[in-house]
Structure 1
Amino acid sequence: MAGMNRVSGWLRRRTDSASGSARPARESRGSRSSRGPHLAAPDPQRDALTTAAAAAGFPVAPAVHPEGFGCSCDRIGCPVPGLHPVSMAWQTQASTEPQRVAQWLAKDPQANFVTATGINHDVLDVPAEAGRLALERLTADGATFGPVAAHEDRLLFFTATRGTPADEDEWWPCALDSHPETVDERPGIRWHCRGSYVLLPPARLTSGNTVEWLPGHGPDLPLPDPLPVLDVLTDACASFGYEPEPESVAWGR
């Protein structure tokens, strides 16, 4: 129960801090070399955290980062600044190979990283308020849950994958975070499996926040079966009025 209180307290402090004060109004993007005053500097733990994620079996690939008041990519008016992979070939590029990951880290000290889901792991992505409730219920029940990350007002629950089952009839697509702008259209539970990705801690966001592992819930933890975790997350989302979209979450068969 003490662990539950520590996690809940940390999450509530983080949410209050993010919403308690108005952020500076955005100015024009300006030169690509400028960094807006609201953007976080690269995290000195980026290399260690990214290497640890790859060592845990999470395939990683370089992603863009906030630059000035926009995105480091070449797309003018990028609709998802700092949130997408650098290469359109990120699915085949994603790797856990230490030398390759080290080369990417050295090449761009500012880069964020994504992890491709549906290969070695999936991610169940829920609104933070529902995620907090699920954490309390899982902790109280003594249930197993693995790595959990906070991304703005969302919580990311890392699980074992069901993206490549022996029986292809058991596979379902996830038409979600390869198009991150759809989060406003589908604010409830999102299942990132084959063909999707999530940002890895300590990715920097244009808000000035970073993606963070919850204390004690980093990538070194074993990955749980997704279905028991999904049951708890679904109930928690329903408690806050989030209903699952038929095309975004497929139930176990």
Structure 2
Amino acid sequence: MGVEETIAGTEAARVPPRREVSLLETAVHYAGERHWDVVPGTWLQATDGVQRCSCADVFCLAPGAHPAHPDWASQATGSAAVARRMWQRRPTASILLPTGRAFDALSVPECAGFLALARMERMELALGPVTHTPDRRMQFFVLPGAAVKVRGLVRRLGWPVSLLHLAPLGDGDYVVAPPTRFGSRGVAQWARRPAPANRWLPDAEELMAPLAYACGRGR
């Protein structure tokens, strides 16, 4: 079986069919059940019959799926009650999960992400949640602190850091959480859903070899 078939098969198995889900209830669930900080981002609004980002930038690269304010990080909350009030005021706001708190994330191109995910499962590695976003990226959740040591880990494996398109997300960054919609491009989804079994996150070092290998093959 070729790499493309493997990736396609893994994607079909891991990405659930799209369905409408309440952003409010989902944000409350993330804060109350997963103990993740959440913050409302921008939202989509109809302008002349076209769904545009609330930021009013007609060239917005992530319409309805980025921070709404410069001080967005200070507004994040881990309280389910506060999250409910936030989304009651703006029910269509995107859900952003600040990194560098309960988790960091390793962001890779989707082709490399699905290849790495299949490899990790064959290796029976303990994995955390993994998102798949319409900007064709995947984010692997790992323990906080990953962002500061990724470059060293990649160099130790012998890969050129600048060529892998592997981006660590830590303090000051965020993950766009499902089921946030990216304009007309689709919705953020879980490639590997949050579940009781993956509350304990892996360290970045445990995932780095398969991720670097997959990113290197995709160059």
Offset at residue 87 of structure 1 (A):
1.8
* SS of 2:29 mapped into structure 1: helix
Distance 1:13 1:65, change over 3 A: farther
Is residue 235 of structure 1 aligned with residue 213 of structure 2?
A: yes
Contact map agreement 1:122 1:191 (CA 8 A) in 2? yes
* SS of 2:184 mapped into structure 1: coil
Matches of 1:108 and 1:186 in 2, distance apart?
Answer: 40
Aligned to 1:190: 167
* SS of 2:66 mapped into structure 1: coil
Contact map agreement 2:7 2:111 (CA 8 A) in 1? no
Contact map agreement 1:85 1:113 (CA 8 A) in 2? no
TM-superposition CA deviations, 1:187-236 (whole Å, max 9, x none): 81111001111211100011341001125x22652221122112221111
TM-superposition CA deviations, 1:124-165 (whole Å, max 9, x none): 1111111111111111011111101110221111111116xx
Matches of 2:73 and 2:149 in 1, distance apart?
Answer: 17
Is residue 124 of structure 1 aligned with residue 106 of structure 2?
A: yes
Matches of 2:7 and 2:217 in 1, distance apart?
Answer: 20
Is residue 63 of structure 1 aligned with residue 41 of structure 2?
A: yes
Is residue 145 of structure 1 aligned with residue 127 of structure 2?
A: yes
Aligned to 2:158: none
Question: Percent identity over the alignment?
Answer: 26
What TM-score, normalized by structure 1, do the two folds share?
0.67
Aligned to 1:84: 66
What TM-score, normalized by structure 2, do the two folds share?
0.77
Greater displacement, 197-206 / 224-233: 224-233
Distance 1:172 1:134, change over 3 A: closer
Aligned to 2:75: 93
Contact map agreement 1:123 1:192 (CA 8 A) in 2? yes
What value does the CA root-mean-square deviation take over the aligned residues? 3.3
Offset at residue 240 of structure 1 (A):
1.0
Matches of 2:182 and 2:69 in 1, distance apart?
Answer: 19
Aligned to 1:156: 139
Query: Which stretches in structure 2 are left out of the alignment for 5+ residues?
Result: 152-161
Greater displacement, 78-87 / 152-161: 78-87
Query: Which stretches in structure 1 are left out of the alignment for 5+ residues?
Result: 18-39, 164-169, 175-184, 242-253
Contact map agreement 1:65 1:205 (CA 8 A) in 2? no
